[in-house]
Amino acid sequence: MNLEYGPEYEDFRAEVIDFCMEYEGISFENTSSKNISRSEWQKILIEKGFIARAIPKEYGGFGGETDIIKSRIIATELSKAKIPGGMGGQGIDMLVPTLLEWGTEEQKQHYIQPTLHGEMIWCQGYSEPNAGSDLASLQTKGELKDGNWVINGQKIWTSTAQYSQMMFCLVRTEPQAPKHSGISFILIPMDTPGIEIRPLVDMTLNAGFNEVFFTDVTVPEGNIVGKRGDGWSVANSVLGHERGSLADPNATMNRLNTLINMMKEETIDGRRLIDIPSYRDRLMQVQGKVMANQAHSLRLLSSKINPGQNVKLGGMIQKLVGTELRHEMEALAIDVLGEIGTLYEETPRLKENGSFQFHYMYFLGLIIGGGTNQIQKNIISERGLGMPKEPKVQEAS
Amino acid sequence: MYFGLSEEQNQFQDYVKKFLSDNVSVDEIRKIANGDDQKLHEDIKSGLMNLGLSSLLIPENYGGLGGDLLSAVSIAQGLGTGVGPISFAGSYVMAPIALSLGGNDDQKDKYLPKIASNEIKFGVGLSEYVAAREDSGIELNKGKASGKALFVIDGDDADFFILSDKGGTMFIVDKNEKGLEIIQLTTVDKTRLYLELNLKNVKAEVLQETENNPFVIQKVIDAGRIILSADSIGASETMIEKAVSYAKERKQFNRVIGSFQAVKHMCAEMAADLEPCYAMLWQAAHSFDHDPDEARLQACQAKSHISEVAKMVSKKATEVHGGMGFTDLLGLHYWFKRIGLNRQILGGPELVREEAAELQGFNQ
């Protein structure tokens, strides 16, 4: 066991801390004196190599080596200093790695740089009303006519569709092939005629998702990534990445500290909430889980830099455990606040901007999204514990 | 940066696991638990002791291996996998630490080398310091101890006992000393023996560095809690393995039951909750060895969280086995009971969580 990163990395940490001090108080709000646009900030972070680190310079990245420890140091120090990190989203987190692996040179040149710089926003067109957990049964149809893909069908749960310039979309192009090998990965400009976006309001009352309808949407043949019928493999090469990122340990620790501080400030009959034994015991239970999770993320980090350390099962549980823990933590905050905990939106006596209720619901969304936690349990038991798959049913009644 | 057990620690753990799986089947555990075969029990004890368990935590200048708590954790995990029916937490972890930190030079010279060479054995009873139940509690007066100690750990075949008064002053009592009555307690887990000691004006040899210095007893309790957690993790690991392999074999409705999601999901839940416990355990041991500021909080939280997860695993793994899980024939209950016992010793989850809160100044 050795928890030191070594002098080279401590030097790097010092460099990151200096950077954080230089940009202390930076904000995307117009009202702030240290106002900066998101895409300007994005460029500064790329130039420092704090994000897009391993993406070649010619595509707008930093052009360095992947360094997991440096990434971890950057995330930790930015989070400590409350300095915003780089932009995320489907384009940067999922499409860019996909194009690097599967895209043509022309596609890489055309799409990666504007995506990294936050100038091209992407949405993901995967799920359909009848293809949720069973994603590979998707039916949105793509036909090749006169050198163009003509697309008809419907997508759902499409985050940020209303702000996006582009969609990466799974489309059935080979209706005769078995379901997993009849899908293609196609890039669609969102201003193409025939696309209709309808917002879908979720339980947090945000329109976090949309339904997207396609009627004879026509895009050039060259907008396919990979070959015809390769779409399932193209999509799956980065899906694991999304699952791992749904419950960031730094964010979890910050939320625990918010909860603890709230329990020290709020009172019942003049008694601090943290002084009430039953509340305190629940807090300690959640803290134990958070500590286990923090330690586990160190173990996973270690396995990435020490080949031979096998933590295969450990990686598979992240989405399940991380999202359930956050949901439980926010639920505790609501319970200890009692009636006050039910306040939401614009109202007197609201605590922490209503973020406890928001995250309580939002994380229920994440428990369901990104592969439901029941699907996660199938993956853990089948791929992690070697248990058999459910026998296939010929035709559902 | 490397987070985890070293290659050497993993190997040591594998020896222990292999010894137990080769030599201690459920039938043998049953014989030992029922007290039916003393010779078998002695053979197993000496087989495991030959791996060097008694010298692990004894400093090198006292004839030991000078290992750290993380090494002891790797062994305890291994012992837990096979419900190892031998002493460990008290005799070979808590006692060496108590003597190393709390003893004067003479006391260290007198006892440590003999523990390492397995000539003498210590039992450890500190429950009264953690939480005195019923009429337990010991008073020290001019080198004499009177009172009762409950749930003395690893007291079987012990030549000496390390006990403490309510203030945390620790002392040694010889088993042959006048005024000492030794009473055997029978817990659900008959693979390890716990004692009650009744002391009437018994000669006590105080560990000098522990007088007015609760640091030592707290350190000893932290170590004990971490080792018991390691034992429960080992036991949980085996219960999951047994549940998964049973579910892959047992057929109902013309299918192996492991193909039913109701069963698979129970297995996934056990694995998902247990997996982060390994890292938590190792980090607690690492902090015990190298990061004193974090060590007590981590020991408390590890004891609490791992006890909760192990309890869940012990229940679900039994359920996966259906009716067979409930039988003595299958013997799964030995692991269930080991987890149930470890949970309460040196403070159950609620007690250690309250301590964790106190450490952070949360209850004023």
The full set of domains in chain A, from first to last, is 7-87 (no CATH), 95-108+120-232 (2.40.110.10), 246-384 (1.20.140.10)
A147 Cβ under 8 Å from any chain B Cβ:
no
The pLDDT of residue A259 is above 80: yes
pLDDT for res A245: 56
Residue that the structure tokens 């707008």 belong to: A60
The residue in chain B having the minimum alpha-carbon distance to the alpha carbon of residue A313 is: B275
Asked if A285 lies within 8 A of B278 by C-beta distance, the reply is no
- Quote the CA–CA distance of B29 and B334 in Å, as a whole number: 8
Instruction: State the Cα–Cα distance between residues B253 and A185, nearest whole angstrom.
Output: 41
Q: Are B272 and A292 within 8 A, CB to CB?
A: no
Binding-face residues of A in 231-270 toward B, CB within 8 A? 260
Does any CB of chain B come closer than 8 Å to the CB of residue A150?
A: no
Inter-axis angle of helices B261-290 and A318-337, to 10 degrees?
A: 80
pLDDT tops 70 at residue A242: no
Asked if A242 is an active-site residue, the reply is yes
The shortest C-alpha distance from A337 to chain B (Å) reads 17
Mean pLDDT of A152-156: 98
Distances (CA, A) of A246 to A239, A249, A284: 11, 10, 24
Which phi and psi (to 5°) does residue B333 adopt?
Answer: -65, -20
Q: Please report, for residues A23, A83, A155, A255, A355, the alpha-carbon distance to residue A26 in angstroms, rounded to integers and kept in the order given.
A: 6, 7, 37, 21, 22
Question: How far, in Å, CA of A389 to CA of B320, rounded?
Answer: 17
H/E stretch holding B357 reads helix B349-359
What residue segments make up the domains of chain B, in order of their start? 7-116, 122-210, 214-359
Q: What is the pLDDT of residue A88?
A: 85
Marked catalytic residue, from A242, A328, A352, A382: A242
Residue A238 has pLDDT above 90, yes or no: no
- With b meaning 16 or more CB within 10 Å and e meaning fewer, what string describes A186-214? bbbebeeeebebeebeeebeeebbbbbbb
For residue B128, what are the contacts with CB-CB under 8 A and spacing of at least 6? B136, B137, B138, B147, B149, B150, B164, B165, B166
Q: Give me the count of residues in chain B.
A: 364
CB contact under 8 A, B271 and A384: yes
pLDDT of residue B248: 98
Residue B97 pLDDT > 90: yes
**Cβ within 8 Å, pair A280-B304:** no
The CA distance from B114 to B121, in Å, is 8
Q: Which of residues 92-131 of A touch B (CB under 8 A)?
A: none
The answer to whether the CB atoms of B286 and A309 lie below 8 A apart is no
Q: Is A240 a residue whose pLDDT tops 60?
A: no
Residue A374 contacts B where some CB pair is shorter than 8 Å: yes
> Would you state the pLDDT for residue A34?
83
pLDDT of residue A143 exceeding 90: yes
Instruction: Output the six-digit token pair for A277.
Output: 């034994």
Q: What is the pLDDT of residue A68?
A: 87
Using one digit for the tens of pLDDT, what is the confidence trace for A67-104? 889 988 998 899 888 898 888 889 998 999 999 999 99
Q: Is the pLDDT of residue A211 over 60?
A: yes
Look at the alpha carbons of A12, A17, A23, A28 in this order and tell me if their dihedral is positive or negative.
positive
Q: For residue B345, what pLDDT is reported?
A: 98
Q: Cα(A368)–Cα(A387) distance, rounded to whole angstroms?
A: 23
Q: Tell whether the torsion through CA atoms of A7, A10, A16 and A18 is positive or negative.
A: negative
- Percent of chain A residues topping a pLDDT of 70: 97
Buried b (16+ CB within 10 A) or exposed e, A40-60: ebbeebbeebbbbbebeeebb
DSSP assignment of B26-38: HHHHHHHHTT--H
Whether residue B251 is predicted with pLDDT greater than 80 in this model: the reply is yes
The mean pLDDT value for A57-74 works out to 92
Q: Is B264's CB within 8 Å of A306's CB? A: no
Least confident of A82-96, B46-60, B198-212: A82-96
**Residue of higher predicted confidence among A32 and A6:** A6
pLDDT in the model for residue A247: 64
A122 has a pLDDT exceeding 80: yes
Per CB-CB distance under 8 Å, the chain B contacts of A289 are: 305
Q: What is the pLDDT of residue A241?
A: 53
For residue A396, pLDDT beyond 70: no
What does the pLDDT read at residue A60? 95
Q: Is B139 helix (H, G, I), strand (E, B) or coil?
A: strand
Q: Determine the residue among A253, A256, A276, A299 to mutate to test chain B binding: the one whose Cβ has the most chain B Cβ atoms within 10 Å.
A: A299
Check CB contact under 8 Å for A1 and B2: yes
Nearest to A229 by CA among A187, A189, A171: A171
Q: According to CATH, what is the number of the domain B7-116? A: 1.10.540.10
Is the pLDDT at B364 greater than 80? The verdict is no
Q: HSE-up of B48 (CA within 13 Å, CB side)?
A: 30
In a mutagenesis test of the A interface, which of B1, B241, B265, B277 is the best target, namely the one with the most A β-carbons within 10 Å?
A: B1
Tens-place pLDDT, residues A274-299? 999 999 999 999 999 999 999 999 99
CATH number of this structure's domain B122-210: 2.40.110.10
Mean pLDDT, all residues of chain B: 97
pLDDT at B119 over 90: yes
B271 and A293: CB-CB below 8 Å? Answer: no
Angle (CA) A110 A112 A114, round 5°: 80
Tell me if A292 and B354 make a contact (CB, 8 A cut-off).
no
H/E segment holding residue A168: strand A166-172
Give the residue, B252 or A71, on which the prediction is more confident: B252
- Mean pLDDT, residues A97-124 taken together: 96
Burial class (CB in 10 A: 0-12, 13-18, 19+), A377: buried
Token pair listed for A210: 């949309």
The reply to whether A299 touches chain B by the CB within 8 Å rule is: yes
Of A5, A313, A317, the CB nearest to B1: A5
pLDDT exceeds 80 at position B42: yes
Q: pLDDT per residue over B254-285, tens digit each?
A: 999 999 999 999 999 999 999 999 999 999 99
Which superfamily, per CATH, for B214-359?
Answer: Butyryl-CoA Dehydrogenase, subunit A, domain 3 (1.20.140.10)
Distance from CA of B257 to the nearest CA of A (A): 9
Evaluate if residue B18 carries a pLDDT over 70.
yes
Q: Among B245, B236, B242, which residue's Cα sits nearest to residue B277?
A: B236
Split at pLDDT 50, 70, 90, the class of A370 is confident
What percent of chain B has pLDDT above 70?
Answer: 100
In B, minimum Cα distance to A288 occurs at B301
> Does A397 have pLDDT greater than 70?
no
Interface size between A and B, measured as CB pairs under 8 A:
161
Integer Cα distance of B124 and B87 in angstroms: 11
